[in-house]
Amino acid sequence: GFLIRKDGLILTNNHVIDKADVIKVQLDESQKDGIDAKVIGRDPKTDIALIKISSKNDLPYVTLGSSSETEVGEWVAAFGNPYGYGHTVTKGIISAVGREIDELNLLPFMQTDASINPGNSGGPLVNTQGQVIGVNAAIDSRAQGIGFVIPIDSVKALLPQLEKGGTIERGFIGVGMDDLNEQSARSLNFKNSDGALITQVLSDTPAEKAGLEPYDLITEFGAHKIESARDLSKAVSLTPIGKKVSVKIVRNGNARELSLVVGKSPDLSVSQNSQRSSRSKSGKAAPFDMGFVLSDYSTAIAQEFGLPKLKKPHPVIVAIDPTSIAARSGMAPGDIILDVNRREVGTANQAIQRIRKNSMNVFRILKRDRVVLISIRS
């Protein structure tokens, strides 16, 4: 981490302080015990956190520069404590900008070849003027000389809200969404795959109140053109809570426009299911050598696979051939099938009857906490 204000405010990564019971800050190596710090604010989605220490005297702090003016090829230096080697500086260049790594961060990264290792997280990346232009955040374990940095301009935009409220409030509309591939788009009669396909609409949410439905394809959200589910997620999260926006969709081949008021993102806890297995199960095998076995939803199956309680019954995949087309397409034991070819199914028999021969079949599936589309050719 690094001091950004003379009163002891420190910027670091959320993953550095996450789940910590005690946080100690060491300003120099002579402070063996460190100074107690308290968490001011943290945001897991951007991996940014603010902590603070107390001091009788003004503390030295860094100057925050501008990452938007940073260019590929510019010399930079990274500061940190890699593998416990305190007060280490490494140098390199900005090797890329705008890296989007969905599983790591909401914000696009800058990429650098300045050596970053475990222990650099939360440290500053500075330019040749000594101004901080980013927060060291991640590495690619498969490669040498590739590190990822959160741009400081993105961080500066979050700091006031993070310090004041302790968290970042983001827009929320209450949908599950997925990308379309060309095959799925053709099966669902869309002209192309550009847009975010709605796979689920949660009850009592802005999306439900606006009239959005599963299988709607969102192509525009307010001023944002939507080409993928990631585009929609970013557009929603960046829209002020309470703002009314127009949403352009394609439904059953027809373009429509709806009006929606963005809500506040709730704090949802995700139940992790670690009990899925692919051992042989009794049930009904899918036709046309698709390679999966279905069973009707029951209390026993729900307990075995750690499934949520359903408002309406739907069949469950209880076994799958790991070499099958279903497994290669992403199906897994414990998946709950909601629709087959846009028709809701409540039993294993209904699901099997609605699978078409010599066709691209589209399954709407509940996987743990999200709903996805999977297309399989029979």
> Is 121 a catalytic site residue?
yes
- Active-site annotation holder among 47, 179, 231, 335: 47
* Tokens at 100, concatenated: 């989007």
Query: Is 97 in contact with 110 (CB distance < 8 Å)?
Result: yes
What residues are paired with 90 via a beta bridge?
Answer: 78
Query: Is 151 in contact with 46 (CB distance < 8 Å)?
Result: no
Sign of the C-alpha dihedral, residues 217, 220, 225, 230?
Answer: negative
> Is 47 a catalytic site residue?
yes
* Tokens at 278, concatenated: 């692919």
- Give the type of residue at 155: V
Instruction: State the DSSP H helix or E strand holding residue 16, giving kind and residue range, or none if neither.
Output: helix 14-17
* Tokens at 221, concatenated: 């959200």
- Active-site annotation holder among 15, 277, 278, 324: 15
> Is 15 a catalytic site residue?
yes
Q: Calculate the alpha carbon distances from 166 to 50, 122, 157 in Å.
A: 9, 18, 14
Sign of the C-alpha dihedral, residues 9, 15, 16, 21?
Answer: positive
- Active-site annotation holder among 67, 115, 121, 193: 121
Report, as residue numbers or ranges, the catalytic residues. 15, 47, 121
